[in-house]
Amino acid sequence: MTAVGTVPLPEAKEVRDMLSGLVGKPVNVLPGAPVTPTPDKPVSVAIYVDPQKAVTALCVMDLGASAYTGSALALLPPGGAQDAVEEDGELSGMQVEALYEVVNVLSALFNKEGARHSKLDTLVAPGDDIPGDVAGMLAAFNRIDLAIEVPTYGKGALSLIVP
């Protein structure tokens, strides 16, 4: 039982069910390594806040998870998503818009009874600068790290963090 006001971390099954329902395909979700931004490995960061604008949770996705979940949701061709990951190293405008919808829906994972309400505040696209205060939260220990595979698109990784 979580204390009133705290934001709970979802379980892997909840993430799998949410992503599978979102993209209309059975997304494979397994324990994975933490997603950490580096100069050669851009990440997207979704920042969730409560009504007072305090950060309640973060969703960090590597380029693969960002491209494949967004593209699958928007029914964009797998080849374009794979090109974004393997060749371009960044998402197209349409892929970023679709990713925004993915991470917006994922906010429901944090909104459990008795928890502070969380809503998507900002999406930092892969390659954009992560605000310093948020970058400091990426190493928090209260997290779940997952490897995902979106059928016909590819593999990626995501970390959900409650600072």
User: At 2, is the pLDDT very low, low, confident or very high (cuts 50, 70, 90)?
Assistant: very low
User: At 68, is the pLDDT very low, low, confident or very high (cuts 50, 70, 90)?
Assistant: very high
pLDDT number for residue 114: 86
As a whole number, mean pLDDT of residues 6-32 equals 95
- Class of the domain covering 12-33+41-161: alpha beta
pLDDT number for residue 7: 87
pLDDT above 70 for 31: yes
What's this model's pTM, rounded to 2 decimal places? 0.94
DSSP class per residue in 97-150 = HHHHHHHHHHGGGG--TTSPP-EEEEEE-TTSPPPHHHHHHTT-SSEEEEEEEE
Query: Any idea where the domains of the chain sit in the sequence?
Result: 12-33+41-161
